[in-house]
Amino acid sequence: MAEQISAIRGMNDIFGTDAQAFDYVINTAQSTLAQYGYQSIRLPLVEKTELFARSIGEVTDIVEKEMYTFNDRNNESLTLRPEGTAGCVRAVVQNGLAHNQVQKLFYSGPMFRYERPQKGRYRQFHQFGVEVFGLSSADIDAELIVLSARLWEKLGLDTLELQINSLGSQAARQVYRELLVNYLSQFIAQLDEDSLRRLHTNPLRILDSKNPDLRAIIDGAPKLLEHLDDESSTHFEQLKTHLDDLGIEYVVNPNLVRGLDYYNRTVFEWVTTELGAQGTVCAGGRYDGLVEQIGGKPTPAVGFAMGIERLTALLMDKQLVPAQATPDVYMVLVGQDVERPGLVMAEMLRDALPTLNVQMNCGGGSFKSQFKKADKSGAMFAVVLGEQEVAKQRAIVKSLRIEAEQQSVGWSELAGYLNTQFNLS
Ligand code: ATP
Ligand code: MG
């Protein structure tokens, strides 16, 4: 036997109940977004490296050390997308979608980051993202939050906590940045390696350090929320009023800064304590400057992304994944050439009764083994075709769940018969 080839570390096959849960998250998210009038957009997995360097920020974890970057055969530097917003903004600008119009978009798919694989953190992971272009007022920020809350409700997730913060304007942040660096500089001796590195490149990131030794220092730091520009303050107050009106509980977390450079004003995260260290299942915020930075006209924008693996893990832990639908009918086909009328009959039933779940026994087998499979499938009825039935253009319908006489039904009556049995119309 040839040597097996395994998948790349941190890039997982998703199958069985996990795949079911995964699809359930995506389907539920799509139907929720449709309810709010959002539209699907599908984007490339690969973009020019410069797009991410320019949007996410040169001194962020992602751009410094997590990107899958390579030169293609033409010696152009390309990168597997580490997140969806940059590509979405690029697409909106390139296709003129934000010009004098509002866009409400959603997408899902794989993202790639060279991180240390662990529970809830992979090198290929999947996000469901939502982005809105052309709206600057806090009502749309509130809509994004309320629609995510509605999604949690549909999924049965009732323990997620909403954390919000405002990063203010770029200008106000610049002023605050100096205050913060001055404050943190008093503690140089106590800062860890990461924080020292960030002190002059990306000091705000120090605020969301997970290092417990820095807790007290961070808690004592000046608060960005207290140094917002007036417009951002008003915007944040409006957001909170909307959330209050909607009955959505939140915690203001002044240390929530997010890892990407492009955010301003609103930032938010939905977090759980039930997944261990990787507790953020959804994160987003406003990025009013990004469209212009990518070469478009100034366009306000706001969005968020959910981590599908983390949501899937929560649903699995809480046993919230709906059971796979069992077949209604299992077709047992025994005898010479019976699979030919069998295949045709199954299609006839699917045409006539679109909601009927029909499973064919493919691959033959004895009457006994086929019946075993029929029973195991969970189907209500076995529809049996043997050579005699085919000759008479009839089928035997046998209940697999209740004690009942089996029935011989003519082919032309079969759909009608099953319809009555299942009460489909
Ligand atoms: P974290 O703090 O967990 O690293 P992040 O700030 O890097 O998250 P974002 O870039 O905002 O995450 O991505 C949004 C969501 O995507 C996260 O909240 C998380 O649910 C999910 N996510 C991010 N990175 C990974 C990963 N490596 N593996 C699995 N899910 C991820
Ligand atoms: Mg990260």
Write out pLDDT tens, residues 46-73: 999 999 999 998 888 899 899 999 999 9
Instruction: Please state the rounded mean pLDDT for residues 198-222.
Output: 90
**Does residue 354 sit in the same domain as residue 288?**
no
Ligand nearest, relative to CA of residue 305: 1
**Does residue 253 sit in the same domain as residue 133?**
yes
**Does residue 244 sit in the same domain as residue 336?**
no
Tell me which residue has its CA closest to atom 22 in ligand 1.
307
Give the pLDDT of residue 425: 58
Instruction: Please state the rounded mean pLDDT for residues 105-119.
Output: 97
Instruction: Please state the rounded mean pLDDT for residues 1-20.
Output: 96
Residue 272 maps to which CATH number? Answer: 3.30.930.10
Ligand nearest, relative to CA of residue 115: 1
pTM for this entry: 0.93
In a domain, 218, yes or no: no
Substitution site in 280, 281, 302, 315 for ligand 1 pocket (most atoms within 8 Å of beta carbon): 280
Residue 260 alpha carbon to ligand 2 centre in Å: 9
Lowest mean pLDDT among 23-32, 36-45, 175-184: 175-184
Instruction: Please state the rounded mean pLDDT for residues 381-394.
Output: 96
Give the pLDDT of residue 277: 85
Mean pLDDT of the chain: 95
CA separation for the pair 316, 25 (Å, rounded): 11
Residue 307 alpha carbon to ligand 1 centre in Å: 6
Instruction: Please state the rounded mean pLDDT for residues 367-376.
Output: 96
What are the pocket residues of ligand 1 if the criterion is a CB atom closer than 6 Å to any ligand atom?
A: 83, 113, 115, 120-122, 125, 127, 259, 278, 280-283, 305, 307, 309-310
> Quick check: 366 pLDDT over 80?
yes
Instruction: Please state the rounded mean pLDDT for residues 218-245.
Output: 96
Please state the domain count of the chain: 2
Tell me which residue has its CA closest to atom 6 in ligand 1.
259
**Does residue 78 sit in the same domain as residue 33?**
yes
Substitution site in 157, 278, 281 for ligand 1 pocket (most atoms within 8 Å of beta carbon): 278
In a domain, 205, yes or no: no
**Which ligand 1 atom sits nearest the alpha carbon of residue 83?**
10
Output 425 or 378, whichever has higher pLDDT. 378
In a domain, 116, yes or no: yes
Residue 27 alpha carbon to ligand 2 centre in Å: 25
In a domain, 414, yes or no: yes
**Does residue 158 sit in the same domain as residue 259?**
yes
In a domain, 359, yes or no: yes
Tell me which residue has its CA closest to atom 25 in ligand 1.
121
> Quick check: 91 pLDDT over 90?
yes
Supply the range of the domain harboring residue 375.
329-422
Instruction: Please state the rounded mean pLDDT for residues 175-196.
Output: 92
CA separation for the pair 176, 171 (Å, rounded): 9
Ligand nearest, relative to CA of residue 307: 1
**Does residue 256 sit in the same domain as residue 311?**
yes
To the nearest whole percent, how much of the chain has pLDDT over 90?
88
Give the pLDDT of residue 30: 98
Residue 223 alpha carbon to ligand 1 centre in Å: 24
